[in-house]
Amino acid sequence: MQHEDHVNLLKKAIQKTGGTWADFGSGDGAFTLALSDLVGAKAQIYSIDKDKKRLENQEDKFKHKFPNTDITFILMDFTKELKLPLLDGILMANSLHYVKDQLNFFSFLKTYLKPNGKIIIIEYNIDKSNPWVPYPLSFESFKLLAKKAGFKDTKLCSRVDSSYWNEMYCATTNI
């Protein structure tokens, strides 16, 4: 996927520019860059990953593509308690499927969000685990998880074919 593909997958999930956002498990930053493109230069972004090299690569990409972005790179496991301001939104692109206890984790995520804050996830639309996606959740499973964790207005925003596992989807849910 190219940058434009990442933007298109996220586009329907982000309704306005600005705000304070975090990308949990940001990896190489492909979706962090797309998030930045959509929320604009007035937004504040926290990019969180436990891989130092990947965060350094991201920082280089931001310096070239979006040099005016207000972004903070945090080297840490996103499942641990983080010191963040209250967030308008959390992006989790291909990272939730690494969390074993998703229900407790989702309940924990609420503590980071402002009233009406949202979570955006991008995941493979599968429920069968494999070595690369140990705790998958299809969109239907995500809807159930969000409801059990006390979120509301869970919506499917977009889908895209995947060369790995049929398709990926982008969905949102709000507190």
Strand 87-93 relative to strand 20-24, pairing? parallel
The token pair at 6 is 């990442």
Q: Check whether 145 has a pLDDT greater than 90.
A: yes
Q: Check whether 163 has a pLDDT greater than 90.
A: no
Q: State the pLDDT at residue 1.
A: 86
For residue 164, name the pLDDT band (cuts at 50, 70, 90). Answer: confident
Q: State the pLDDT at residue 15.
A: 87
The token pair at 160 is 């895209």
Residue appearing with tokens 């940001």: 26
What is the spatial distance between Cα 53 and Cα 32, in angstroms, rounded to a whole number? 16
pTM of the model: 0.95
CATH number for the domain spanning 49: value is 3.40.50.150
Which phi and psi angles does 156 have, rounded to 5°? Answer: -85, 125
How many distinct structural domains can be found in the chain?
A: 1
Per-residue pLDDT of 65-112, as tens digits, reads 999 999 999 999 999 999 999 999 999 999 999 999 999 999 999 999
State the angle between helix axes of 102-109 and 139-148 in degrees (0 to 180), rounded to the nearest 10: 60
For residue 166, name the pLDDT band (cuts at 50, 70, 90). Answer: confident
Per-residue pLDDT of 4-57, as tens digits, reads 999 999 999 998 999 999 999 999 999 999 999 999 989 999 999 999 999 999
The token pair at 151 is 């979120």
State the residue range of the domain holding 130. Answer: 3-174
Strand 87-93 relative to strand 113-124, pairing? parallel
For residue 161, name the pLDDT band (cuts at 50, 70, 90). Answer: confident
Is the Cβ–Cβ distance between 123 and 161 less than 8 Å?
Answer: no
The token pair at 82 is 């983080």
